[in-house]
């Protein structure tokens, strides 16, 4: 059958590839947003002003 198991989860290779691609896309989008979106700089400054 060739299933991929992660703990109690079992995926067919095609479904595992789809789940992995979605996770990589979300992580890459978050990293790009943190680096490119100026709103995150304002958030960092606000947190620094609160003593975090």
Take residue 38 and report the two structure tokens written for it: 């100026």
Write the DSSP string, 22-49.
HHHHHHHHHHHHHHH-HHHHHHHHHHHH
- Higher-pLDDT residue of 27 and 51 is 27
pLDDT value at residue 51: 59
50 pLDDT exceeds 70? no
Take residue 28 and report the two structure tokens written for it: 């890459």
pTM of the model: 0.63
Taking only the tens place, the pLDDT of each residue in 7-45 is 998 999 999 999 999 999 999 998 898 888 777 777 677
d(CA 52, CA 50): 6
In angstroms, what CA-CA distances link 13 with 34, 41, 50? 32, 40, 47
Q: Which neighbouring-strand residues pair with 5?
A: 10
pLDDT value at residue 11: 92
């Amino acid at each position: 059958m060739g299933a991929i198991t992660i703990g109690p989860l079992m995926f067919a290779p095609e479904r595992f590839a789809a789940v992995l691609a979605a996770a990589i896309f979300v992580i890459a989008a978050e990293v790009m947003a943190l680096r490119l979106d100026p709103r995150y700089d304002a958030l960092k400054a606000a947190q620094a002003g609160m003593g975090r």
